[in-house]
A and B are shown apart, each in its own frame.
Chain A
Amino acid sequence: MIFLLRRLAFYLAALLVAITLNFFIPRLMPGDPSARIIASFQGRLNESQVQAIRQSYGLTGSLWEQYLTYLGSVARLDFGISTVQFPEPTASLLFYGAGWTLVLVGIAIFFAFIIGSLMGIHAAWHRGSFFDSVFTPINVILNAFTPAIVALLLFYAFSLELKWFPLGRAHDPNLMPGWYPEFILSVLYHATLPVLSIFLVSFGGWHLGMRNVMINLLNEDFVVLARAKGLSDQRVRYRYVARNAILPQITALALSIGFLLGGALVTEQVFNYPGLGKFTFTAIQSRDYSFIQGQLLLLTMSVLVANLVSDIANVILDPRLRR
């Protein structure tokens, strides 16, 4: 319990660092987001209107007051007002996009973690075999291909040339969103290629991680004892070695979520998929600062929550942490 409380305190502190960075980076740069909007009215605003716009972006008062206002709005999950579509709040678009990104990254992580870990277990158990010496390097090299390139390759081959998969969108535009089989199938069909490209660049990491941790565990006394007791090969492999090797993998899984979400930004751009990445890309082109800052905060929060979940999972799986 003390372990979890300490971790929770750390995540709150980390979140505070992210919020502080997000607060200061724009203020260190020349100009401020409200200047664009005020300029777009070409001097037709009087002093009080300018003041009102600046206030809506939290730019009035001393730096300390601004900081406290910002903290308050983040705590209410209020990500400010779009700097491009002026009076619109950023949060609605942010959460809409995050939903679709979650579909992509969730499915991809699930398969990448399971398939990668199983391959790693197999490679470690039969280390030095054909499988290990051929697939371990290949999978890890795949891991070093940037998501942009793998996505482009798949898009070119299966969407443009073979026309097996659609050129964009998250579902068939003629279907109303809802929980019925036709719609879900359409969502899965549209998500196949983006998920595949995130999967391809991430499963090699789980393969190598699992393999290396397993190899280091194979010489431990408890493994030798388990074999000496005459337990079956399967039981030693999965219940003794893999069971212990999975603990650092779960911690790494939570840390990798930030990296995967970053990769998804690029993947969505290639596949024209309406997730957070696609909207971030549009926001970059139109310089919608609120949205770009909002995506950092939202992604940081999701990574921190994922880390907390992985800590809880570690406490459940590892009795040594329960003391």
Chain B
Amino acid sequence: MSELTQSSPLALGAQPDTGAALAPTQLELMRELGVKPRPGWTSRLSPGLAAFVTNGKGMAGVVILLILVLTSLCAPLLTDFDPKRRAGKPHVEPGYEHVLGTTRMGKDVFTQLVYGGRVSLAVGFGAGIAAAMIGLAIGISAGYFGGRVDDILSFFVNVVLVLPGLPLIIVIATMVEEASPLVIGLVLALTGWGWAARTIRTQTLSLRTREFVLSAELMGEKKWRIILVEIFPNMLSFVMGGFVLGTIAAILAEAALEFIGLGDPNAVTWGTMLFWAQNNLALQSGAWWEIWPPCIAIMLTGAALVLVNFAVDEITNPQLRASRRIGGIRRFLNRRGRSADVF
């Protein structure tokens, strides 16, 4: 009897002299492995969405993004000042009157930050959505139609990937003279769809030979209907990934472009706030409150989007999701004196 319990992997930690095998219950095992029971309400969601909602990193990112978007949307409720007008003396330190102080021009930094967030986030999300859509259209067409269409489209995808983005944008933005946030967003969307198109093309290539697509073709469905109804729903997480990466790139590139003075200096965005702070030598004159708020806002947005991207990665690539659990399983096996060589 004791021989049997010894060889049973789950009972190894049990006291050998108790006689009866004290196999841990499922609840005890789950607690030891750190697996939480799945809340009931997620079972009503689609599997992809449920995987996202239960992903800690992804939800943390979503919450940060929501807070940023909400504060930008509620800007007029949060502050009484006008972001483009003087609100007080130049370089007032943060205090009761001006929560984050004022710029050298006497504008209220907090007001500029929340109003600037509207433009910066809109440009970022807008360019991200547009890039994901262009990538989706080109990627699916290249992958599904194949042949000559694929050759031509793949050529353009590779060219977009290989051309250096920021230098190209600099050329276009210089020619436009003081590019407005809208122009910057458009240019970023037109240069940022390469990665999305490439991943979606690869995915389409593997999907178009599957049975459900073949059966739809044999039933005589129209091509656009196969693309929209059969293939597109399987692409959602890849479109999401393209959108998140495109948004990160757009928000960072917009800030960089405006920082080096290619944007419209009269627009109020996080990038132009940095531009004015750098131009007015805010750091050198000790006015840290003029430069850090937009920096922190951009960093927070970038970090939140990266967290969302982690969740999207784990959904599109299940091996990465499994690897998240492996640490717990290893420690569990170690405690029970088993080899921790799990692959």
Contacts and interface: CB of A to CB of B under 8 A. Distances in A.
A284 interface: yes
Interface in A127-160: 127-130, 132-133, 137, 140-141, 143-149, 152-153, 155-156, 160
Interface in A2-19: 10-11, 13-14, 17-18
Interface string A282-323: 001101010011011001100110010000000000000000
Interface of B is mostly: helix
Nearest to B57: A137
A262 B325 contact: no
B165 interface: yes
Interface string A37-69: 000000000000000000000000000000000
Contacts of A266: 256, 259-260
A227 B299 CA distance: 42
A307 B162 CA distance: 8
A127 B278 CA distance: 42
B252 A144 contact: yes
A223 B319 CA distance: 16
B155 interface: yes
A259 B167 CA distance: 9
B165 A258 contact: yes
A269 interface: yes
A261 interface: yes
Contacts of A149: 255, 274, 295, 298-299
Contact of A216 (B155, B261, B283, B317): B317
B343 interface: yes
A296 B171 contact: yes
B168 A219 contact: no
Contacts of A269: 259-260
B200 interface: no
A219 B323 CA distance: 12
Q: How large is the interface on A (under 10, 10 to 19, 20 to 34, 35 or more residues)?
A: 35 or more
B238 to A, nearest CB: 15
Given A140-B306, A269-B260, A281-B261, A258 B164 contact: yes
B302 interface: yes
A295 B167 contact: yes
Contacts of B324: 127-128, 133
Contacts of A129: 327, 330
B328 A212 contact: no
B310 A140 contact: yes
A216 B306 contact: no
A268 to B, nearest CB: 10
A215 interface: yes
Nearest to A148: B259
A153 B295 contact: yes
- Which of B162, B278, B283, B330 gathers most chain A CB within 10 Å? B162
B62 interface: no
B161 interface: yes
Interface stretch (A20-28, A114-122, A174-182, A188-196): A20-28
B320 interface: yes
Contacts of A287: 174
A224 B274 CA distance: 52
15 contacts: A17-B163, A25-B175, A128-B326, A129-B330, A140-B310, A144-B252, A152-B278, A152-B283, A160-B283, A219-B319, A262-B166, A284-B261, A293-B171, A303-B163, A303-B164
Interface of B: 57, 155, 158-159, 161-168, 170-172, 174-176, 248, 252, 255-256, 259-262, 274, 278, 283-284, 288, 291, 295, 298-299, 302-303, 305-307, 310, 313, 317, 319-320, 323-330, 341, 343
Given A18-B168, A258-B165, 11 more contacts: A137-B307, A140-B310, A141-B303, A160-B283, A212-B313, A219-B319, A219-B343, A284-B260, A295-B167, A296-B171, A300-B163
The 4 closest A-B pairs by CB, nearest first: A128-B327, A262-B166, A258-B164, A144-B302
